[in-house]
Amino acid sequence: MSFPERPDDQTITSPRSDRVRRIASLSGRSARRRHGLLRVEGPQAVRSLLQHRPDALGELFLTQEAAAAHPELAALAAQAGHRPRRIEPEALRAMVREQDAEGALQNPQGVVATARTAALDLPLAAALAGLPAGPSSILVLHELRDPGNAGTLIRTADAAGADLVILTAGSVDVHAPKVVRASVGSLFHLGVVTGADPATLYRDLAAAGVSIAATSGYAASDLFGTALPPRIAWVMGNEAHGLPDAVLEIADLAVRIPLAGNAESLNVATAATVCLFESLRRRGDP
Protein backbone atom coordinates (compact mmCIF):
# COMPACT_ATOMS: atom_id res chain seq x y z
CA MET A 1 0.00 0.00 0.00
CA SER A 2 1.33 3.42 -0.81
CA PHE A 3 -1.07 5.67 1.09
CA PRO A 4 0.88 7.77 3.57
CA GLU A 5 0.07 6.89 7.15
CA ARG A 6 -1.82 9.51 9.09
CA PRO A 7 0.35 11.14 11.76
CA ASP A 8 -1.70 9.34 14.42
CA ASP A 9 -0.76 5.99 12.96
CA GLN A 10 2.89 6.50 13.70
CA THR A 11 4.40 4.45 16.46
CA ILE A 12 5.45 6.51 19.48
CA THR A 13 9.14 5.81 19.92
CA SER A 14 10.64 8.54 22.10
CA PRO A 15 10.49 8.20 25.90
CA ARG A 16 11.10 11.96 25.99
CA SER A 17 8.23 13.10 23.77
CA ASP A 18 5.75 15.65 25.07
CA ARG A 19 2.96 13.09 24.99
CA VAL A 20 4.91 10.59 27.06
CA ARG A 21 5.90 13.28 29.56
CA ARG A 22 2.29 14.46 29.85
CA ILE A 23 1.07 10.98 30.70
CA ALA A 24 3.93 10.45 33.17
CA SER A 25 2.94 13.74 34.83
CA LEU A 26 -0.48 12.27 35.70
CA SER A 27 1.20 10.71 38.75
CA GLY A 28 0.64 14.15 40.31
CA ARG A 29 -2.68 15.54 41.44
CA SER A 30 -2.17 18.99 39.95
CA ALA A 31 -1.44 17.54 36.49
CA ARG A 32 -4.50 15.31 36.71
CA ARG A 33 -6.60 18.34 37.54
CA ARG A 34 -5.03 20.46 34.78
CA HIS A 35 -5.49 17.82 32.08
CA GLY A 36 -8.74 16.35 33.43
CA LEU A 37 -7.23 12.90 32.99
CA LEU A 38 -6.11 9.95 35.06
CA ARG A 39 -3.74 7.18 34.01
CA VAL A 40 -4.77 3.53 33.86
CA GLU A 41 -2.07 0.85 33.68
CA GLY A 42 -2.02 -2.80 32.72
CA PRO A 43 -4.35 -5.02 30.70
CA GLN A 44 -6.79 -5.91 33.50
CA ALA A 45 -7.53 -2.34 34.60
CA VAL A 46 -7.69 -1.05 31.00
CA ARG A 47 -10.01 -3.90 30.00
CA SER A 48 -12.32 -2.94 32.86
CA LEU A 49 -12.29 0.70 31.72
CA LEU A 50 -13.13 -0.31 28.13
CA GLN A 51 -15.85 -2.73 29.20
CA HIS A 52 -17.61 -0.67 31.83
CA ARG A 53 -16.80 2.98 31.14
CA PRO A 54 -15.86 3.26 27.44
CA ASP A 55 -17.40 6.75 27.52
CA ALA A 56 -14.56 7.85 29.82
CA LEU A 57 -11.70 6.60 27.60
CA GLY A 58 -9.16 9.26 26.64
CA GLU A 59 -6.37 7.47 24.76
CA LEU A 60 -5.17 3.88 24.61
CA PHE A 61 -1.49 2.98 24.13
CA LEU A 62 -0.40 -0.57 23.29
CA THR A 63 2.97 -2.09 22.51
CA GLN A 64 3.02 -4.48 19.57
CA GLU A 65 3.48 -7.40 21.94
CA ALA A 66 0.58 -6.33 24.19
CA ALA A 67 -1.70 -5.79 21.18
CA ALA A 68 -1.01 -9.36 20.09
CA ALA A 69 -1.43 -10.77 23.61
CA HIS A 70 -4.68 -8.88 24.30
CA PRO A 71 -6.56 -8.50 20.99
CA GLU A 72 -9.78 -7.78 22.90
CA LEU A 73 -8.43 -4.39 23.97
CA ALA A 74 -8.30 -2.96 20.43
CA ALA A 75 -11.67 -4.56 19.69
CA LEU A 76 -13.30 -2.98 22.75
CA ALA A 77 -11.69 0.38 21.90
CA ALA A 78 -13.03 0.15 18.34
CA GLN A 79 -16.56 -0.36 19.70
CA ALA A 80 -16.07 2.90 21.59
CA GLY A 81 -14.87 4.62 18.41
CA HIS A 82 -11.21 4.73 19.42
CA ARG A 83 -8.05 3.47 17.78
CA PRO A 84 -5.19 2.42 20.03
CA ARG A 85 -1.85 4.15 19.52
CA ARG A 86 1.12 1.85 18.95
CA ILE A 87 4.08 2.58 21.21
CA GLU A 88 7.57 1.20 21.76
CA PRO A 89 8.07 -0.58 25.11
CA GLU A 90 10.67 1.92 26.33
CA ALA A 91 8.35 4.88 25.67
CA LEU A 92 5.45 3.11 27.36
CA ARG A 93 7.53 2.38 30.44
CA ALA A 94 8.49 6.06 30.58
CA MET A 95 4.77 6.89 30.95
CA VAL A 96 4.76 4.95 34.24
CA ARG A 97 7.87 6.06 36.05
CA GLU A 98 6.71 5.35 39.57
CA GLN A 99 8.36 2.91 41.90
CA ASP A 100 6.41 0.75 44.29
CA ALA A 101 7.02 0.72 48.05
CA GLU A 102 9.90 -1.73 47.53
CA GLY A 103 11.57 0.49 44.94
CA ALA A 104 10.64 -1.80 42.03
CA LEU A 105 9.43 -0.11 38.87
CA GLN A 106 5.81 -0.59 37.91
CA ASN A 107 5.25 -2.89 34.95
CA PRO A 108 2.21 -1.86 32.91
CA GLN A 109 2.67 -4.95 30.69
CA GLY A 110 2.57 -2.90 27.50
CA VAL A 111 -0.82 -1.30 28.17
CA VAL A 112 -1.58 2.26 29.31
CA ALA A 113 -4.75 4.30 28.86
CA THR A 114 -6.05 7.63 30.05
CA ALA A 115 -9.58 8.25 31.28
CA ARG A 116 -11.42 11.54 31.56
CA THR A 117 -12.01 12.35 35.20
CA ALA A 118 -15.12 14.44 34.45
CA ALA A 119 -16.81 11.40 32.89
CA LEU A 120 -16.18 9.40 36.08
CA ASP A 121 -17.59 12.04 38.44
CA LEU A 122 -20.64 10.57 40.15
CA PRO A 123 -22.78 12.94 42.25
CA LEU A 124 -24.03 11.44 45.51
CA ALA A 125 -27.70 12.10 44.70
CA ALA A 126 -27.44 10.26 41.40
CA ALA A 127 -25.57 7.37 43.03
CA LEU A 128 -28.20 6.96 45.74
CA ALA A 129 -31.05 7.25 43.23
CA GLY A 130 -29.37 4.49 41.20
CA LEU A 131 -29.18 1.94 44.04
CA PRO A 132 -31.17 -1.24 43.56
CA ALA A 133 -34.58 -1.22 45.27
CA GLY A 134 -33.83 -4.32 47.37
CA PRO A 135 -30.81 -5.31 49.45
CA SER A 136 -27.80 -3.14 48.87
CA SER A 137 -24.44 -2.67 50.49
CA ILE A 138 -22.29 0.44 50.42
CA LEU A 139 -18.80 1.15 51.72
CA VAL A 140 -18.13 4.63 53.12
CA LEU A 141 -14.49 5.64 53.61
CA HIS A 142 -14.40 8.53 56.06
CA GLU A 143 -11.17 10.50 55.57
CA LEU A 144 -9.25 7.40 54.49
CA ARG A 145 -5.76 8.51 53.51
CA ASP A 146 -3.73 5.55 52.29
CA PRO A 147 -3.88 5.01 48.51
CA GLY A 148 -3.21 1.28 48.77
CA ASN A 149 -6.01 0.85 51.30
CA ALA A 150 -8.44 2.86 49.18
CA GLY A 151 -7.71 0.93 45.99
CA THR A 152 -7.77 -2.45 47.71
CA LEU A 153 -11.05 -1.59 49.41
CA ILE A 154 -12.67 -0.53 46.12
CA ARG A 155 -11.61 -3.92 44.71
CA THR A 156 -12.80 -5.77 47.82
CA ALA A 157 -16.15 -3.92 47.86
CA ASP A 158 -16.66 -4.88 44.21
CA ALA A 159 -15.77 -8.53 44.91
CA ALA A 160 -18.15 -8.61 47.86
CA GLY A 161 -21.02 -7.33 45.70
CA ALA A 162 -21.25 -3.82 47.11
CA ASP A 163 -23.09 -1.34 44.91
CA LEU A 164 -21.23 1.81 45.78
CA VAL A 165 -18.11 3.20 47.48
CA ILE A 166 -18.29 6.72 48.91
CA LEU A 167 -15.20 8.66 49.99
CA THR A 168 -15.66 11.75 52.12
CA ALA A 169 -13.88 15.03 51.49
CA GLY A 170 -10.40 14.78 53.01
CA SER A 171 -9.89 11.23 51.74
CA VAL A 172 -7.17 10.22 49.30
CA ASP A 173 -7.69 11.10 45.61
CA VAL A 174 -9.05 7.91 44.00
CA HIS A 175 -7.50 8.96 40.68
CA ALA A 176 -3.95 8.65 42.06
CA PRO A 177 -2.12 5.87 40.18
CA LYS A 178 -1.59 3.83 43.36
CA VAL A 179 -5.32 3.77 44.01
CA VAL A 180 -6.12 2.93 40.39
CA ARG A 181 -3.52 0.13 40.41
CA ALA A 182 -4.70 -1.37 43.70
CA SER A 183 -8.34 -1.32 42.54
CA VAL A 184 -7.37 -3.49 39.51
CA GLY A 185 -10.25 -2.16 37.40
CA SER A 186 -12.97 -2.17 40.05
CA LEU A 187 -12.84 1.65 40.02
CA PHE A 188 -14.59 1.47 36.63
CA HIS A 189 -17.12 -1.17 37.60
CA LEU A 190 -18.50 0.06 40.89
CA GLY A 191 -20.02 3.47 41.41
CA VAL A 192 -17.48 5.60 43.30
CA VAL A 193 -18.55 8.92 44.83
CA THR A 194 -15.75 11.22 45.97
CA GLY A 195 -15.59 14.37 48.06
CA ALA A 196 -18.80 13.64 49.98
CA ASP A 197 -19.53 16.23 52.68
CA PRO A 198 -19.62 14.43 56.04
CA ALA A 199 -22.02 17.06 57.37
CA THR A 200 -24.78 15.91 55.01
CA LEU A 201 -23.72 12.44 53.81
CA TYR A 202 -25.19 10.43 56.66
CA ARG A 203 -28.52 12.27 56.49
CA ASP A 204 -28.69 11.63 52.74
CA LEU A 205 -27.97 7.93 53.27
CA ALA A 206 -30.71 7.71 55.91
CA ALA A 207 -33.12 9.48 53.56
CA ALA A 208 -32.33 6.83 50.93
CA GLY A 209 -33.32 4.11 53.41
CA VAL A 210 -29.76 2.99 54.04
CA SER A 211 -28.74 2.02 57.59
CA ILE A 212 -25.38 3.32 58.84
CA ALA A 213 -23.19 0.57 60.33
CA ALA A 214 -19.90 1.17 62.09
CA THR A 215 -17.40 -1.11 63.77
CA SER A 216 -16.17 -0.36 67.25
CA GLY A 217 -14.09 -2.34 69.71
CA TYR A 218 -16.47 -1.15 72.43
CA ALA A 219 -19.73 -2.23 70.76
CA ALA A 220 -21.86 -4.68 72.76
CA SER A 221 -23.01 -6.81 69.83
CA ASP A 222 -20.67 -8.88 67.74
CA LEU A 223 -20.70 -8.90 63.94
CA PHE A 224 -21.34 -12.61 63.57
CA GLY A 225 -24.26 -12.60 66.01
CA THR A 226 -26.05 -9.44 64.86
CA ALA A 227 -28.86 -9.18 62.31
CA LEU A 228 -27.82 -6.91 59.45
CA PRO A 229 -30.29 -4.54 57.79
CA PRO A 230 -30.84 -5.25 54.07
CA ARG A 231 -29.67 -1.80 52.96
CA ILE A 232 -26.45 -1.14 54.78
CA ALA A 233 -23.55 1.33 54.56
CA TRP A 234 -20.40 0.15 56.34
CA VAL A 235 -18.50 3.24 57.47
CA MET A 236 -14.73 2.90 57.94
CA GLY A 237 -12.55 5.64 59.43
CA ASN A 238 -9.15 7.18 59.02
CA GLU A 239 -6.12 4.88 59.44
CA ALA A 240 -4.73 6.86 62.39
CA HIS A 241 -7.78 8.42 64.02
CA GLY A 242 -10.62 5.99 63.30
CA LEU A 243 -14.16 7.31 63.07
CA PRO A 244 -15.20 10.59 64.70
CA ASP A 245 -17.49 10.16 67.70
CA ALA A 246 -20.19 12.09 65.84
CA VAL A 247 -20.39 9.31 63.24
CA LEU A 248 -20.48 6.57 65.89
CA GLU A 249 -23.31 8.45 67.58
CA ILE A 250 -25.55 8.66 64.52
CA ALA A 251 -24.84 5.08 63.40
CA ASP A 252 -27.91 2.81 63.35
CA LEU A 253 -25.73 -0.15 64.22
CA ALA A 254 -22.34 -0.55 65.89
CA VAL A 255 -20.75 -3.98 65.90
CA ARG A 256 -17.59 -5.42 67.33
CA ILE A 257 -15.52 -7.67 65.11
CA PRO A 258 -14.63 -10.60 67.39
CA LEU A 259 -10.90 -10.66 68.14
CA ALA A 260 -9.65 -14.00 69.37
CA GLY A 261 -5.94 -13.46 69.91
CA ASN A 262 -3.91 -10.68 71.39
CA ALA A 263 -4.36 -8.12 68.60
CA GLU A 264 -6.02 -5.03 70.05
CA SER A 265 -7.55 -3.96 66.78
CA LEU A 266 -7.61 -4.59 63.03
CA ASN A 267 -6.38 -2.30 60.34
CA VAL A 268 -9.14 -0.58 58.38
CA ALA A 269 -8.75 -2.71 55.25
CA THR A 270 -9.02 -5.91 57.28
CA ALA A 271 -12.05 -4.66 59.23
CA ALA A 272 -13.84 -3.59 56.05
CA THR A 273 -13.10 -6.94 54.40
CA VAL A 274 -14.59 -8.90 57.29
CA CYS A 275 -17.76 -6.74 57.30
CA LEU A 276 -18.28 -6.71 53.53
CA PHE A 277 -17.83 -10.46 53.18
CA GLU A 278 -20.09 -11.13 56.16
CA SER A 279 -22.76 -9.06 54.35
CA LEU A 280 -22.16 -11.14 51.22
CA ARG A 281 -22.30 -14.41 53.15
CA ARG A 282 -25.63 -13.45 54.75
CA ARG A 283 -27.14 -12.64 51.39
CA GLY A 284 -26.30 -16.12 50.11
CA ASP A 285 -27.30 -17.77 53.39
CA PRO A 286 -30.40 -15.94 54.66
Minimum CB distance to its own copies, residue 170 (Å): 15
Q: Could you tell me if 266 and 223 are in contact, meaning their C-beta atoms sit under 8 angstroms apart?
A: no
Rounded Cα distance, 235 and 222, in Å: 16
The one-letter code for the residue type at 286 is P
Minimum CB distance to its own copies, residue 204 (Å): 23
- Identify which range of 62-70, 122-130, 178-186, 208-216 contacts its own copies by CB under 8 A: 178-186
Minimum CB distance to its own copies, residue 255 (Å): 13
Residue 185 within binding range of its own copies, rule CB under 8 A: yes
- Identify which range of 3-11, 83-91, 118-126, 183-191 contacts its own copies by CB under 8 A: 183-191
CA distances in angstroms from 166 to 188, 203, 227, 286, listed in the order given: 14, 14, 23, 26
Binder to its own copies among 93, 155, 181, 231 (CB under 8 A)? 155
Minimum CB distance to its own copies, residue 234 (Å): 14
Binder to its own copies among 152, 171, 194, 215 (CB under 8 A)? 152
- Site for its own copies, rule CB under 8 A: 44, 48, 52, 101-102, 145-148, 152, 155-162, 178, 182, 184-186, 189-190, 224-225, 257-267, 269-270, 273-274, 277-278, 280-281, 284-285
